[in-house]
């Protein structure tokens, strides 16, 4: 693969430059940017330092603060002297995660694979205790109540996917919580729904009332094995050592900002960015170290190539994204005077797959076609497609949505490739090895050329027809659990709506809610447009069309 790309580099450069019809950017500038990107990419160096040397970057953690300070210095090393931190808010309690380990001690010894949520209790050193299956009624409670002190309570989950909850009646569970606290249990051990250990957490805690009981998410296959032993009457002893630390707040929180100042319209902007915070069950590589590293590399490429954009290109790394887009939302609220001056916001937050296109409203389609002309044909192995859409839609769960709420054209790059984002998103697998170097290098060049092209247009992008009909109502990103190549299903993740609906590898999606779709862009748009919790999807399987139903949780009520 490396040899093939090296061989293609020169002719592709010629093809892309020849195809470029002027949009305010000189052909020589395009050539310099492409040459700089291809001769000395540093994107994987940025990513390595961010996720391997600094590590996870939970909002309110020391790791996040270190990452923010390091990226400011990184931008400055490219020659962007105005790189800075801008405070957006505070969290009441900080949280830092140290090492964690666990094992089954008896009846046999086995290392355990598990995680804990952020802002939850760890152990005070090594804690060993008997494993007891959580009672589900008063009769079962009477049988184990004398064994609860110092015990690890095995709590099965009900439901599948990312929102699995502990089994049992809600009132009885609340009763159990009180009994557990009084008895002094060692902690609660819950089962994951598959081989993915998901990390989340609630930052809204007080330092004078911190969580004290560890809550562990144990790999399902290991949980089932331990539960089976207990049910067979065999004594099982578990041992955990979990170093979770709280830090007294308030903890100040920041966005990172760096500007290549425009030569003609310095007070008009194109924003390029991603979010620098991550969950801390792994190192936050694909969510969103990949987007941070391409943002850094795009800045380096543009600075080293010496191009002078007509408008200011502002590079932004927001924090607090995982808890509710806090960094970007606060920036929008704090700077209302800037919103009319922002031509576009380009957000990379979809993992390591290469940036493969944009969906744009009709009124700006001609300008985007012109500005992004160098991207079309940049690499036939990683095609870039610009599609006209009925308008943009709120939701999708990333920072572009904060700008859309203010009427600013906010774009979430479309991405394609071989990586399975569902497998790493918020899981223990979101580590450096999940990143695809050739995609990261290509995406950095796409971000650099794309932002330069939009910055060099004769005018700001039109906002006419910006929002799709009904598109201003925020909607969450829907995780189907399906991996697609174009419209063909190549993988179905366990415990997801796709698996429950009966999708199989090889299925080809042809309709969403009765509407024909011709490509993945149309599929995603159609899926987001449906507000119902159950969405009929027609697929072609073995030459026949069959209808499957994707079911999603009901959306939360809007305040």
| pLDDT above 70 for 504 | yes
Whether a cis peptide bond, with omega within 30° of 0, leads into 72 is no
Question: According to the model, what pLDDT value does residue 556 have?
Answer: 45
Tokens of 331: 């920036």
170 plus 66 within the same structural domain: no
* Structural domain that includes position 137: 98-248
Q: Which CATH number is 535's domain given?
A: 2.30.42.10
104 plus 39 within the same structural domain: no
CB 268 within 8 A of CB 460: yes
Using only C-alpha atoms, what is the Rg of the chain?
Answer: 25
Domain boundary among 248, 270, 305: 248
Residue-wise pLDDT for 124-173, tens only, equals 999 999 999 999 999 999 999 999 999 999 998 644 333 334 455 778 88
Q: What's the whole-number average pLDDT of the chain?
A: 91
- Please name the residue that has the structure tokens 């971000």: 447
**For the whole model, what pTM was predicted?**
0.87
Residue-wise pLDDT for 391-417, tens only, equals 999 988 999 999 999 999 999 999 999
Phi, psi of 20 (to 5 degrees): -80, 115
Structural domain includes residue 165:
yes
287 plus 225 within the same structural domain: no
Phi, psi of 391 (to 5 degrees): 150, 170
Alpha helices in 147-206 (DSSP H): 170-183
Residue-wise pLDDT for 352-370, tens only, equals 999 999 999 999 999 999 9
> Is pLDDT larger for residue 400 or for residue 495?
400
Dihedral-angle region of residue 492 (phi above 0 means left; psi in -120 to 50 means alpha; beta otherwise):
beta
DSSP characters over 327-377: HHHHHHHH-GGGGGGEEEEEE--S-SSEEEEEEEEHHHHHHHHHHTGGGTT
Structural domain includes residue 386:
yes
CA distances from 123 to 98, 127, 185, 186 (A): 11, 7, 12, 8
- How many angstroms separate the CA atoms of 539 and 514, rounded? 11
Alpha helices in 360-493 (DSSP H): 362-371, 400-404, 421-424, 437-455
Q: What three-state secondary structure class fits 140?
A: helix
For residues 363-397, one letter each, b for 16 or more C-beta atoms within 10 angstroms of the residue's C-beta and e for the rest, the string is: ebbebbebbbbbbbbbbeebebebeebbbbbbbbb
CB 415 within 8 A of CB 359: no
| pLDDT above 60 for 21 | no
Q: Is 1 exposed, middle or buried (0-12, 13-18, 19+ CB in 10 A)?
A: exposed
Q: What three-state secondary structure class fits 536?
A: strand
Q: Give the containing element (helix H, strand E) for 538.
A: strand 534-541
Tokens of 310: 């007509």
Alpha helices in 492-553 (DSSP H): 497-501, 520-529
Least Cα distance to 132 among 180, 62, 97 occurs for 180
Q: Give the containing element (helix H, strand E) for 240.
A: strand 237-260
- How many angstroms separate the CA atoms of 499 and 481, rounded? 7
Q: Give the rounded distance of the alpha carbon of 151 from its chain centre.
A: 36
Question: According to the model, what pLDDT value does residue 496 have?
Answer: 82
130 plus 176 within the same structural domain: yes
Strand-pair category, 265-275 with 342-347: parallel
Q: Which CATH number is 374's domain given?
A: 3.40.630.10
CA distances from 200 to 217, 304, 338, 449 (A): 11, 39, 33, 35
- How many angstroms separate the CA atoms of 437 and 216, rounded? 34
346 plus 426 within the same structural domain: yes
Structural domain includes residue 92:
no
- How many angstroms separate the CA atoms of 104 and 45, rounded? 39
Eight-state DSSP code of residue 120: -
| 543-552 mean pLDDT | 93
Residue-wise pLDDT for 522-542, tens only, equals 787 788 777 788 999 999 999
191 plus 274 within the same structural domain: no
323 plus 406 within the same structural domain: yes
Structural domain includes residue 204:
yes
230 plus 270 within the same structural domain: no
Eight-state DSSP code of residue 208: T
Indicate the range of 19-23, 151-155, 345-349, 447-451 predicted with least confidence: 19-23
User: Helix, strand, coil: what percent of the chain each, to 5?
Assistant: 35, 30, 35
76 plus 119 within the same structural domain: no
- How many angstroms separate the CA atoms of 371 and 355, rounded? 16
pLDDT confidence tier of residue 62, bands split at 50, 70 and 90: very high
Number of domains into which the chain is organized? 3
For residues 169-203, one letter each, b for 16 or more C-beta atoms within 10 angstroms of the residue's C-beta and e for the rest, the string is: eeeeeeebeeebeebebbbbbbbbbbbbbbbbbeb
| pLDDT above 50 for 117 | yes
51 plus 197 within the same structural domain: no
Domain boundary among 191, 215, 248: 248
361 plus 212 within the same structural domain: no
């Amino acid at each position: 693969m490396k040899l093939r790309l090296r061989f293609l580099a020169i002719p592709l450069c010629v093809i892309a430059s020849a195809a470029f019809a002027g949009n305010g950017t000189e052909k020589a500038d395009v050539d310099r940017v492409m040459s700089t990107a291809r001769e000395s990419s540093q994107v994987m160096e940025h990513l390595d330092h961010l996720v391997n040397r600094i590590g996870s970057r939970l909002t309110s953690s020391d790791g996040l603060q270190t990452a923010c300070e390091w990226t400011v210095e990184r931008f400055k090393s490219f020659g962007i002297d105005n790189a800075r931190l801008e405070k957006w808010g505070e969290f009441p309690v900080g949280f830092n995660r140290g090492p964690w380990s666990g094992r089954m001690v008896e009846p046999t010894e086995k290392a355990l694979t598990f995680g804990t949520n952020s802002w939850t209790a760890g152990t005070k050193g090594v804690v060993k205790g008997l494993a007891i299956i959580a009672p589900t009624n008063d009769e079962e409670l009477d049988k184990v109540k004398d064994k609860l002190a110092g015990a690890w309570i095995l709590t099965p989950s009900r439901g599948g996917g990312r929102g699995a909850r502990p089994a049992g009646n809600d009132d009885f569970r609340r009763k159990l919580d009180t009994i557990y606290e009084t008895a002094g249990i060692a902690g609660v051990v819950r089962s994951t729904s598959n081989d993915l250990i998901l990390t989340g957490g609630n930052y809204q805690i007080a330092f004078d009332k911190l969580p004290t009981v560890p809550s562990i998410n144990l790999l399902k296959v290991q949980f089932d094995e331990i539960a089976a032993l207990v049910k067979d009457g065999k004594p099982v002893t578990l041992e955990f050592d979990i170093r979770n630390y709280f830090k007294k707040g308030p903890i100040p929180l920041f966005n990172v900002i760096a500007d290549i100042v425009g030569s003609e319209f310095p007070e008009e902007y194109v924003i390029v960015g991603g979010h620098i915070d991550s969950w801390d069950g792994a190192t936050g590589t694909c969510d969103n170290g990949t987007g941070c590293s391409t943002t850094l590399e795009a800045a380096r490429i543009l600075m080293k190539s010496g191009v002078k954009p007509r408008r200011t290109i502002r590079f932004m790394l927001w924090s607090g994204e995982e808890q509710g887009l806090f960094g970007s939302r606060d920036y929008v609220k704090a700077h209302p005077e800037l919103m009319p001056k922002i031509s576009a916001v380009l957000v990379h937050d979809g993992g390591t797959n290469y940036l493969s296109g944009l969906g744009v409203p009709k009124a700006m389609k001609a300008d985007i076609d012109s500005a992004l002309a160098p991207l079309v044909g940049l690499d036939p192995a990683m095609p870039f497609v610009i599609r006209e859409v009925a308008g943009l839609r709120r939701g999708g769960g990333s920072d572009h949505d904060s700008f859309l709420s203010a009427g600013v054209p906010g774009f979430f790059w479309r991405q394609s490739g071989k990586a399975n984002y569902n497998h790493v998103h918020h899981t223990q697998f979101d580590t450096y090895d999940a990143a695809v170097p050739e995609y990261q290098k290509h995406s950095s060049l796409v971000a650099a050329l794309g932002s330069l092209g939009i910055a060099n247009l004769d005018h700001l992008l039109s906002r006419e027809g910006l929002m799709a009909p009904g598109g201003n109502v925020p909607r969450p990103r829907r995780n189907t659990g399906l991996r697609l190549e174009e419209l063909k299903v190549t993988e179905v993740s366990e415990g997801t709506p796709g698996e429950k609906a009966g999708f199989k590898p090889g299925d080809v999606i042809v309709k969403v809610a009765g509407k024909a779709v011709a490509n993945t862009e149309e599929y995603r748009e159609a899926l987001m447009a449906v507000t119902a919790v159950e969405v009929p999807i027609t697929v072609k399987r073995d030459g026949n069309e069959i209808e499957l139903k994707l079911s999603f949780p009901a959306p939360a009520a809007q305040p």
